[in-house]
Chain A
Amino acid sequence: MKAKPLKKLIYHIFVGGFAVLLLYPVVWLIVSSFKQSEKIFLTAESLIPKPFTIANYGQGWEGFGDYGFDTYITNTTIYVVLVLIGHLISCSLIAFGFARLKFAGRNFWFAIMIMTLMLPYEVVMIPQYIIFSQLDWLNSYKPLVVPAYFGHPFFIFLLVQFIRTIPRELDEAATIDGSSVFGIYYRIILPLIVPALATTAIFTFYWTWDNLLGPVLYLNSPGKYTVSMALRMFLSNETVSNWGAMFAMSVVSLIPVFVIFFIFQRYVVEGISTSGLKG
């Protein structure tokens, strides 16, 4: 019994120390955002900004041309939330269909879905672009958001794998109790895959937040740009890049992702306890 606090201390030293090691680059990023832009590279090894300045934040927040950085954050937030809703609804429905229902052609469609994961986006990009241009969807968020309502193979597959770990007896019991197929999805499965849904939410949030290729292709008006596009505009291939502002706004754009993660990670781990279901 005496050994317990010591064991705990060792755990914290190890886990905490390891975290510091992994986080060094992140700390470097944050510290650099408080350095003067032209000093960032001269004092790259130092983790103390000297002199300390918040000018980068002011400069970055001003944005480009007519639009401040707040515009990009608002745009990105709306975009991300719409995609998030789409993924949660569509992927859970589709995954339930694949994992629990027996129907003709199931394996075929599952194989098709896995295949769509393997084709690099670069080559379907052009034909897809032409389809969206025929629909007159260019320079809008439609090509980025609408497909989310038809499922995303990664998350469908993820949810399928989780549903498969849930004992079938639960469904059978519910069927005997008179539950419909949809009832099983809604009452039995959905609550049990909360961790996987939270995972879907987290991944969707930050992948969409970070997504660059889609917005670059489909958004033309700077007033519609996302954060990831805006960050790249601080850099220049011809003259001097504004590193300070880029780092500062990178830090700012990390905050929402960080907060979302902190909120949702709890559900990943605490949302479910299947213990006692069996045994």
Chain B
Amino acid sequence: MQSSMKQNLWGYLFIGPFIIGFLAFTVIPIFASLYFSFTSYNLFTAPEWIGFDNFTKMFTDDARYLHSLKITFIYVFAGVPLRLAFALFVAMLLNTASRAVGFYRTLYYLPSLIGGSVAVAIMWRNIFGDEGIVNLALSTLGLDPIRWFGDPTAALWMLIFLSVWQFGSSMLIFLAGLKSIPQSYYEAASVDGANFLQKFVKITIPMLSPVILFNAVMQTISAFMTFVPAFIISKGTGGPLDGTLLYSLYLFMQGFEFFHMGYASAMAWVMLIIIGILTSIIFASSRFWVHYESEGGR
């Protein structure tokens, strides 16, 4: 008894800051937004209770909402795996003992450092423009140039490329994970005559799995909430033909341009549920493939 009390005390001492911060700054806003989602609220006057109307409207009377949900799913399910695979590939490429590697690492990270700056939008417009380098490359390969900003499907893919291009944060986390795999494991495997692929499957993937889980969860969540690239690329419209109207962008429009904060809050809670389900699936699956060194996974 005594010792469990003591354990609890230590536990809460350590996570205390989180709980205090949560209670002080987050819990009220969360409940407020939950309440707003059942109201008609324009930010200026008191919210008015309307029950489930916002939710019914979303799924029965708002074609744009369903469209935006659809393209967000495409963005997430195409973008996240591509970005993770690319990040892992580059991380492994840079996980060598070469002296120039620190320099390369910084170079590869540069695209991500530019982040959501306004400069990105205009840069991207030129690179994917009619006379930009991408279309130049396409025509060199004998392909037809593409109007990246004028075609809804192409525009969505451009957003996906942009997210893959900014792979730096996932790469860095992978690198840190790769570095914490004891070198002795590989040495032992080499002695046993394992080739690169065997080492990758038998050592790298299992040892890296907690980090892969982290990246998969975080990238899925953040991909769902992507706002800035879509906003700056489409100049805030989600165009052409709503081709880049990602969920968060539509939510923002409803809340802050049309002043339907109640509807926007309802959208946010639906998104929370969707992300929650996806994350639980990833977490539930993790027991089959994630290997925790500290929890007797040997």
- On A, residues with C-beta under 8 Å from B are 8, 11-12, 15-16, 19, 22-26, 28-29, 41, 44-45, 90, 93-94, 96-99, 101-104, 106, 109, 112-120, 122-128, 131, 147, 149-151, 154, 156-158, 161-168, 181, 185, 195-196, 198-199, 202-203, 206-207, 210, 212, 228, 231-232, 235, 243, 246-247, 250, 253-254, 257-258, 261-262, 265-266, 268-270, 272-279
B contact residues around A207 at 8 Å (CB): 115
B181 to chain A, nearest CB (A): 8
A36 to chain B, nearest CB (A): 16
B contact residues around A127 at 8 Å (CB): 28-29, 32-33
Assess whether A128 is in contact with B29, with CB atoms less than 8 Å apart: yes
A contact residues around B111 at 8 Å (CB): 22-23, 25-26
**B241 in the interface (beta carbon within 8 A):** no
For chains A and B in complex, what number of residue pairs have CB atoms within 8 angstroms? Answer: 280
B contact residues around A96 at 8 Å (CB): 14
B276 to chain A, nearest CB (A): 6
Assess whether A94 is in contact with B17, with CB atoms less than 8 Å apart: yes
A159 to B30 alpha-carbon distance, docked (Å)? 25
B contact residues around A102 at 8 Å (CB): 7, 11
| Interface membership of chain B positions 108-152, coded 1 if the CB is closer than 8 angstroms to chain A and 0 otherwise | 111111111111001110110101110010000000000000000
B contact residues around A8 at 8 Å (CB): 98
Assess whether B117 is in contact with A117, with CB atoms less than 8 Å apart: no
B contact residues around A198 at 8 Å (CB): 176
Assess whether A261 is in contact with B17, with CB atoms less than 8 Å apart: no
| Interface membership of chain B positions 1-38, coded 1 if the CB is closer than 8 angstroms to chain A and 0 otherwise | 00010011011111101111110111011101100100
A contact residues around B65 at 8 Å (CB): none
28 interchain pairs, CB-CB under 8 A: A25-B127, A45-B136, A93-B15, A99-B294, A102-B11, A103-B7, A103-B10, A103-B11, A112-B22, A123-B36, A123-B265, A126-B29, A126-B261, A127-B29, A150-B25, A157-B214, A158-B214, A195-B179, A206-B112, A228-B117, A231-B119, A235-B118, A243-B122, A258-B110, A268-B172, A268-B175, A279-B185, A279-B188
B271 to chain A, nearest CB (A): 6
Assess whether A265 is in contact with B33, with CB atoms less than 8 Å apart: no
**B43 in the interface (beta carbon within 8 A):** yes
A119 to B271 alpha-carbon distance, docked (Å)? 8
Assess whether B20 is in contact with A97, with CB atoms less than 8 Å apart: no
- The answer to whether A124 and B30 touch (CB under 8 A), given A103-B8, A117-B221, is yes
A262 to B169 alpha-carbon distance, docked (Å)? 14
Closest 9 CB pairs of A and B: A150-B21, A103-B11, A97-B14, A127-B29, A124-B29, A127-B32, A97-B15, A123-B268, A195-B176
Interface contacts beyond A118-B221, A166-B294, A232-B118: sample of 20 additional A-B pairs, CB < 8 Å, sorted by A:
A28-B123, A28-B127, A104-B4, A104-B8, A113-B22, A118-B276, A120-B251, A127-B33, A128-B29, A150-B22, A151-B21, A156-B18, A158-B173, A168-B294, A199-B172, A206-B112, A231-B118, A261-B106, A268-B176, A274-B180
B contact residues around A15 at 8 Å (CB): 93-94, 104
Assess whether B180 is in contact with A161, with CB atoms less than 8 Å apart: no
A206 to B106 alpha-carbon distance, docked (Å)? 14
**B183 in the interface (beta carbon within 8 A):** yes
B214: nearest chain-A partner, CB-CB: A161
Assess whether B293 is in contact with A167, with CB atoms less than 8 Å apart: yes
A158 to B210 alpha-carbon distance, docked (Å)? 10
Contact of B294 among A26, A116, A149, A164 (CB under 8 A): A164
**B85 in the interface (beta carbon within 8 A):** no
Assess whether A98 is in contact with B251, with CB atoms less than 8 Å apart: no
A contact residues around B185 at 8 Å (CB): 279
A278 to B188 alpha-carbon distance, docked (Å)? 12
- The answer to whether A164 and B210 touch (CB under 8 A), given A115-B276, A250-B119, is yes
A257: nearest chain-B partner, CB-CB: B113
| B:237-293 near A, CB below 8 Å | 248, 251-252, 255-256, 261, 264-265, 268, 271-272, 275-276, 279, 292-293
B139 to chain A, nearest CB (A): 13
B184 to chain A, nearest CB (A): 5
A118: nearest chain-B partner, CB-CB: B275
Assess whether B116 is in contact with A268, with CB atoms less than 8 Å apart: no
- Which of A120, A156, A203, A278 gathers the greatest number of chain B CB atoms within 10 Å? A120
Contact of B15 among A98, A165, A185, A273 (CB under 8 A): A98
- Which of A24, A97, A123, A203 gathers the greatest number of chain B CB atoms within 10 Å? A123
Assess whether B183 is in contact with A128, with CB atoms less than 8 Å apart: no
- The answer to whether A19 and B182 touch (CB under 8 A), given A29-B119, A232-B118, is no
